[in-house]
Chains A and B, each alone.
Chain A
Amino acid sequence: MSLLSESATPFCSAANPVEQFLRTERMPHIWCPGCGIGTTVNCFASALLQSQLNLDKVVVVSGIGCTGRVAGYVNLDSFHTTHGRAIPFATGMKLANPDLTVVVYSGDGDLISIGGNHLIHAARRNVDLKVICVNNFIYGMTGGQAAPTTPAGAITSTTPYGGFEQSFNLPNLVESCGAVYVARWTTYHVRQVAHAIKEMFRKKGFCFLEILAPCPTLYERRNRLGDGLDMMKYYKDQSEVRHGAPTKEVGISYQGPIVVGKFVDIERPTFLELMNQQLARTLEAEYTGCGGDHVRS
């Protein structure tokens, strides 16, 4: 900790430019060596830096799990909510104060399994949320159990003889539910991840970024896939950039090819835009607007 605080002084030329976005007093973080979550946070911080957003108006909402801990490390208003419920919490927050840029930052188990119902409905409603889903194919925090994203054939602590369930194709899932921005990258693609987050900051509506990230401790080790570096090599060798690829073609198989890129970038009115239109049309002069200063006590 002392090293970090020293590096933050103006006399140290090696100060990391993203440090201002982190709660350095909370370091060291809980993530394992080789874990990809920290890399994604670095990309997120770079995107914040480059976007020049008013940081007072950016909120991070996380659920539970390893990625759920991101909220606790970013130096922003941050909410570490209940398991699976980051999206509905964020929905309430965005509707009550539309001035906020609300980022949902959580893992695959949290957002897709226990939170799956909220994911599909928020995409359908086109609530203006920036969802960052770190997909490490596994439940990390609880010790490496199978997730709905675990590719068939992988060994996990609850599929010791190999999994056989079909996993979700996340870009296809959220696109079919109505997301206006859908992209996938891996933690090998740090510039592309930061760029995608910047694009999401500029985009209105339900945005979804899947970031494949290694879990060397629980996924790679059990499947004898090596360490974090070996996963980087896998991502490098097997990733194929296909912007605009039809999302039904981007499913992931065990150690198979990974289609990355921006798949969806469309325009569709958001929940709040539609609500305001509808209420203005029906209530006419009686309607003076909802949200923001109207609902804040």
Chain B
Amino acid sequence: MKASPEGVLTGVHFLDGDQACSEGALAAGCRFSAGYPITPSTEIVERFAQRAPQIGGMFIQMEDELASSIAIQGAVWAGAKAFTVTSGPGFSLMMEHIGYAAMTETPLVIVDVQRGGPSTGLPTLPGQADMMQARWGSHGDYAIIALCPNSPQECFDLTIEAFNLSEKYRVPVLLMMDECVGHMTEKVVIPPADQIEIVPRRYTKLGPADYQPYHAGPDGVPEMAQAGEGYHFHVTGLTHDERGYPAMNAEAQEKLVRRQIEKIRGNADAIEHSEETFLEDADVVVVAYGITARVALRAVQMARERGIAAGLLRPLVIWPFPEKRIRELAARPRVAGFVVPEMNYGQIVLEVERCVKGQAPVLSLPSAGGAFHLPEDILEKINHLAPMAKEAR
């Protein structure tokens, strides 16, 4: 279906990433947000608090991030599309409710505008060190989807994509921004509502007598009911059977957890979204995301100017990880190696190494955050690998 026009601020704007994210949520049909102030994410809900009541939506400032991240789930089961936003310590506090949303298959979006950590760290400066936390931070086994925008325009576009993916797969989707992307101001083009594709909630068409809340279709995704519609259904964070009732045994656990992971893993090709620049003939592949990818693109251009065939793979969907694509690149004889710059001490590089399986060197270019990389530093790593490319040929 198409976006509802009243939430879409069609036009050409000059917005920062946080504001663009807020507009993306409204365009996606989100009309409920609960949040708790934390730098550098707060501007998202500040804008939402101003805009939403004008179009029938609402914002409530909760007492903490635990409350925010569960209040949105209550709103979702009451029928709303909902999101919350946070950063740093707030993201840590939300971990339990990411697990609850995964277990109960509650569609929602959580935005993490990453800052330097650990602990209070660098509230006003960027980081990318929550990438593994996004994937694994809640206890137990589960799968989520995470996206990484690198511009205010993408903060708008990927927020819509995040809502759509959350509804399609009934999964919490994490928008992993960073302070640079959140606070940089650029041109943002918001298209007319009839050009924005929206995935509606997958409500059951069955009547209450036939409906089983956790009976999944062929794609592994069960259909939802809404509180107040006469279904008298049960939702629990306990391991449950297809009726939604607690089932405390290994068989039920295996069946449920396997399906919940498989609905993401098995649909990874459909979820994948990457941008490739100069990869066709690349000898050296840079894998980068978020603000670091913009620096990496400059480094790749500088390498090309110096006659080195460098290319950039930029995952917009970072979880599930684009493992198939990395494997394909690693298997190319001419690819001499990978460079992975990121504002953390080596997180996504571990995934790249896992997929490359020793077929080529993988160079990490870590940073503890606080400032983004310089193109020259990435170029230096590309230069390391360039001579090996000649040997390979």
For the complex formed, measure the closest distance between the CB of B28 and the CB atoms of chain A, giving whole angstroms: 9
User: Quick check: which of A2-10, A86-94, A232-240 contacts chain B, the rest being far away?
Assistant: A86-94
Q: A95-B60, A297-B31, A297-B80 are in contact. Are A72 and B246 (CB under 8 A)?
A: yes
B245 CB contacts on chain A under 8 angstroms: 23, 26, 72
With A82-B237, A85-B67, A295-B58 already in contact, the answer to whether A279 and B79 are too (CB < 8 A) is no
Residue numbers of A with Cβ under 8 A of B are 23, 26, 55-57, 59, 61, 71-72, 75-82, 84-85, 88-97, 99-100, 117-118, 121, 275, 279, 283, 286-291, 294-297
Chain B residue numbers with a CB within 8 Å of A57 are 228
A287–B53 contact, CB under 8 A?
yes
Question: Cβ of B201 < 8 Å from any Cβ of A?
Answer: yes
Contact present for A295 and B235 (CB under 8 Å):
no
User: When the two chains form their complex, are residues A88 and B234 in contact, meaning their CB atoms are under 8 A apart?
Assistant: no
Shortest beta-carbon distance from B106 to chain A in Å: 10
Q: Which 7 A-B pairs have the closest CB atoms?
A: A294-B56, A92-B74, A296-B79, A92-B71, A93-B74, A96-B78, A88-B67
B246 lies within 8 A of A95 (CB): no
In the assembled complex, which residues on chain A have CB atoms less than 8 Å from the CB atom of B100?
A: 81-82
Residue of B66, B71, B227 touching A91 (CB-CB under 8 A): B71
Chain A CB within 8 A of B64 CB: yes
Counting chain B CB atoms within 10 Å of each CB, the highest count among A92, A121, A288 belongs to A92
Query: Could you say which of A56, A85, A287, A289 contacts B229, with CB atoms under 8 Å apart?
Result: A56
Q: Which partner residue on chain A sits nearest B67 by CB separation? A: A88
Contacts of B373 in A (CB 8 A): none
Chain B 213-252 residues near chain A, CB threshold 8 A: 226-238, 245-246
Contacting pair B75 A295 (CB below 8 A)? yes
A residues less than 8 Å from B226 (CB atoms): 296
- Contacts A88-B34, A294-B56 aside, 19 further interface pairs with beta carbons under 8 A come to A77-B227, A80-B234, A80-B236, A84-B66, A88-B71, A88-B74, A92-B78, A93-B75, A95-B32, A97-B78, A118-B63, A121-B62, A286-B54, A288-B56, A290-B58, A291-B58, A295-B32, A295-B75, A295-B80
Bound Cα distance from A229 to B229, whole angstroms? 41
Q: Choose from A23, A81, A92, A99 the contact partner of B32 (Cβ within 8 Å).
A: A92
Does A55 contact B232, Cβ atoms closer than 8 Å? yes
**Interface positions of B from 77 to 108, Cβ below 8 Å from A:** 77-82, 96-97, 100
Of the candidates A79, A121, A287, which one forms a contact with B235 in the assembled complex, judged by CB atoms under 8 Å apart?
Answer: A79
A89 touches B236 (CB 8 A): no
Q: Which residues of B contact A (CB under 8 A)?
A: 29, 31-32, 34, 52-54, 56-58, 60, 62-64, 66-68, 70-82, 96-97, 100, 200-201, 226-238, 245-246
The distance from the CB of A76 to the nearest CB of chain B, in whole angstroms, is 6
Q: How far is the CA of A95 from the CA of B78 in the complex (A)?
A: 9
Q: Please, how many angstroms separate the alpha-carbon atoms of A275 and B57 in the complex?
A: 12
Partner among A93, A275, A286 whose Cβ is within 8 Å of the Cβ of B227: A93
Contact A72 B79 (CB under 8 A): no
Pairwise interchain contact A97-B235, C-beta atoms closer than 8 A = no
Contacts of B97 in A (CB 8 A): 82, 85
CB-CB < 8 A to B227: which residues of A?
59, 77, 79, 93, 97, 100
Query: If A61-B74, A92-B72, A100-B227 touch, does A80 touch B235 (CB 8 Å cutoff)?
Result: yes
Pull 15 A–B residue pairs with CB atoms less than 8 Å apart, ordered by A.
A57-B228, A77-B232, A78-B234, A80-B235, A81-B73, A88-B71, A92-B74, A92-B76, A92-B82, A96-B80, A99-B228, A290-B57, A296-B78, A297-B31, A297-B81
Contact of B31 among A23, A88, A92, A294 (CB under 8 A): A294
Partner of B53, one of A56, A91, A290: A290
For the complex, give the distance between the alpha carbons of A81 and B78 in Å: 14
* Least distance between B9 CB and chain A CB atoms (Å): 15
Give the Cβ gap from A222 to chain B, nearest Cβ, in Å: 26
Expressed in whole angstroms, the Cα–Cα distance for A75 and B208 within the complex equals 12
Q: Please, how many angstroms separate the alpha-carbon atoms of A84 and B82 in the complex? A: 21
